[in-house]
Structure 1
Amino acid sequence: MGPYRLGWAAVARLPVWPARALFFLVAEVVRRQRGAGVRQLHANLAQVTGAPPDSAEVRRLARLGVHSYLRYWRELFQLSRVRPPVIFERLDRLPVSGRGAILALPHSGNWDLAGAALAELGHPITTVGQRLRPEALYQRFVAARAAVGIEVLPVDEPRRTVPALGRRLAEGGVVCLLADRDVTGAGLPVRLLGRATTMPAGPARLALSTGAALIPVSLWYSGRDLRVHLHEEIAAPPAAGRRAQATAMTQALADVFTDAIRRHPQDWHVLQPVWPPAVLHPGGDQPEHGERAGERRQPEHPVPDP
């Protein structure tokens, strides 16, 4: 058994309170070290709040954000035996007539916990996942999610994954896609939290090609609970052409995400660039992430980041 699986297994067996104490300490260490990810979190939260990255408000939210992020990992490692309460709001917005649903959500709260709770209510879900290295770690993630009713399809195998998503939706299934960060450079232009960027095209294009309902979802922690709100379906507008329709639907997603993130910024777990660096730092240093202003990664696959 490799070190990753050993660590995962050890945390999974910890009682709740020791695990909370351990991850609290880890979060404090991560926060105080101010590595590249934490500095990027400050930059992202500055965009959310409109305050400077080193302001007291951003520092406060970043501290809470690091702890929320480590809480996600603790809950994931213990998902097979410990389930914090999940409270769904407007679950009635899921289609009931055999029509498929695409739940599009930002990297907020704990999407794995929400997926497990949804599966427990009789709605097993399908999602996509980036292939991690080493392969054993990726397979551990796939197995852990499968054990709680979450099917993970590989994001780097689009010829297999895209048709499989279509079949799940045709069967009336639920597909969950994280949709606030474009990792491929092939996304659609939007304004997110007041700034121009791109977001994955997959949710909107999949809805248009299958007729499934596109439903934005927001997640946040409320004390010990995870709250999950299903927003109104985003319908295809009467636009000329599929690309125009997909762009309008993706902008509608961005608008919902903007409101949700501003309401609960401390639970938005994005430690990577979301906007072009020149937008985040119009007069200051650029974040250290290996991209120059205006550069985007080359497209790798047509489905969104999990």
Structure 2
Amino acid sequence: MREKLVDSGYAAGWAALKLLPEPVVRVLGDQLADFTWRRRGRGVLQLEKNLARVRPTASPAQVRELSRAGMRSYLRYWMESFRLPTWNDRKIADRMQVEGTEHLVAAMEAGRGAVIALPHMANWDLAGAWVVRHLGFNFTTVAERLKPESLFDRFVAYREGLGMEVLALTGSDISVIGTLARRLRAGKLICLVGDRDLSAAGLPVEFFGETTRMPAGPAALAQRTGAALLPVTLWYDGPVMRARIHPPIEVPDDPDRQAAKAAMTQAMADVWATGIAEHPQDWHMLQRFWVADLPSEGAARPQDAQQEQETSAEPTSHA
């Protein structure tokens, strides 16, 4: 019954918010964000623990205000996502300002393929739609399965409607990494949200002075295929969203492939940390993230990861 209610709620949101005037949707999003923030639930409290690491000199009151802005940013992501299928090319262009497109274009024109790797910042779906509609690069991504299955199917259909090929991380007979590698060797583009490790098999990195784990997939794919690894940061700036495509992270000249992969992942994390430090309110990390916060002496149990994923109800992209 709970799963049916969750799916019905998202279906109703998608249907209703497409019809409302945009100023009304904006106000509604802020009100929902403030209501959730005032309830002080698990996600909000964890967001504040995460933001306190990003801004260690901030007072508790400042962290609370930052978390309020963070919840407004997070609800803005949802409100935009519900309405994004109705936006035409002109509106998507008006809502995006992107720096560093030359790095992506150069990799694609050279036929080497590219891995765009993003953290959970601002609206990665809008960024993806912009890449498809205005650069003309369709891409492949990977989505974590949600419960109920009907909700996961709804999100897959939504993203496919924006021009993305979506692979399910689990529950399929195909090899996800193998498929991504084949796309890259064919000179294609893949996009992965890669700052949070759900597998407990990620690589350790230092992030804001503490250890966390991040998925090895982006670096491993670049290492394996020769594709360009391009970290991206996103943030909201008034009515528009800005994005920065950073220069490619090169594969180190190191015979130790594991060490090279770890160095690339750390370099990617460093780029993201700089962007998050500049725009912490747009980092939507409402789950336990650092090793010190995880149960069982830092090893994330699968059921814990699944529970938090269901709490966020957000099929983000990983590898």
Aligned equivalents of 1:197, 1:2: Cα separation in 2:
35
Deviation at 1:295, TM superposition (A): 2.9
Do residues 235 (structure 1) and 255 (structure 2) align?
Answer: no
Deviation at 1:276, TM superposition (A): 2.3
Do residues 275 (structure 1) and 290 (structure 2) align?
Answer: yes
Q: 1:42–1:62: 8 Å Cα contact kept in structure 2?
A: yes
Compute the TM-score of the two structures, normalised by the length of structure 2.
0.86
2:71 maps to which of 66, 72, 76: 66
Name the SS of the counterpart of 1:80 in structure 2. Answer: helix
Deviation at 1:292, TM superposition (A): 4.4
The residue aligned with 1:76 is 81
Shift of the 239–298 alpha-carbon distance from structure 1 to 2, 3 Å rule, reads: farther
2:33 maps to which of 4, 22, 27: 27
The residue aligned with 2:309 is none
Shift of the 240–67 alpha-carbon distance from structure 1 to 2, 3 Å rule, reads: same
Q: What pairs with 1:68-217 in structure 2 (closer than 5 Å)?
A: 68-82=73-87, 83=92, 85-94=95-104, 95=107, 96-121=109-134, 122-156=136-170, 157=172, 159-217=174-232
Aligned equivalents of 1:261, 1:105: Cα separation in 2:
11
Deviation at 1:252, TM superposition (A): 0.4
Deviation at 1:55, TM superposition (A): 1.2
Deviations 1:22-49 (A, max 9, x none): 1111001000001000000000000001
Deviation at 1:158, TM superposition (A): 7.5
Do residues 296 (structure 1) and 300 (structure 2) align?
Answer: yes
Deviation at 1:235, TM superposition (A): 0.5
Name the SS of the counterpart of 1:112 in structure 2. Answer: helix
Q: 1:200–1:304: 8 Å Cα contact kept in structure 2?
A: no
Aligned equivalents of 1:3, 1:254: Cα separation in 2:
35
Deviation at 1:7, TM superposition (A): 2.6
Q: 1:11–1:78: 8 Å Cα contact kept in structure 2?
A: yes
Unmatched tracts of structure 1, length 5 or more: 279-288
Aligned equivalents of 2:147, 2:36: Cα separation in 1:
22
Name the SS of the counterpart of 2:84 in structure 1. Answer: coil
Aligned residue pair count: 292
Name the SS of the counterpart of 1:172 in structure 2. Answer: coil
Identity, in percent, stands at 46
Compute the TM-score of the two structures, normalised by the length of structure 1.
0.90
Aligned equivalents of 1:239, 1:216: Cα separation in 2:
21
Q: 2:120–2:195: 8 Å Cα contact kept in structure 1?
A: yes
Unmatched tracts of structure 2, length 5 or more: 1-6, 306-315
Aligned equivalents of 2:40, 2:255: Cα separation in 1:
47
Name the SS of the counterpart of 2:300 in structure 1. Answer: coil
Aligned equivalents of 1:75, 1:110: Cα separation in 2:
8
Partner AA of 1:48 in structure 2: V
Aligned Cα root-mean-square deviation (Å):
2.1
Partner AA of 1:103 in structure 2: I
The residue aligned with 1:38 is 44
Name the SS of the counterpart of 1:233 in structure 2. Answer: coil
Aligned equivalents of 2:23, 2:238: Cα separation in 1:
15
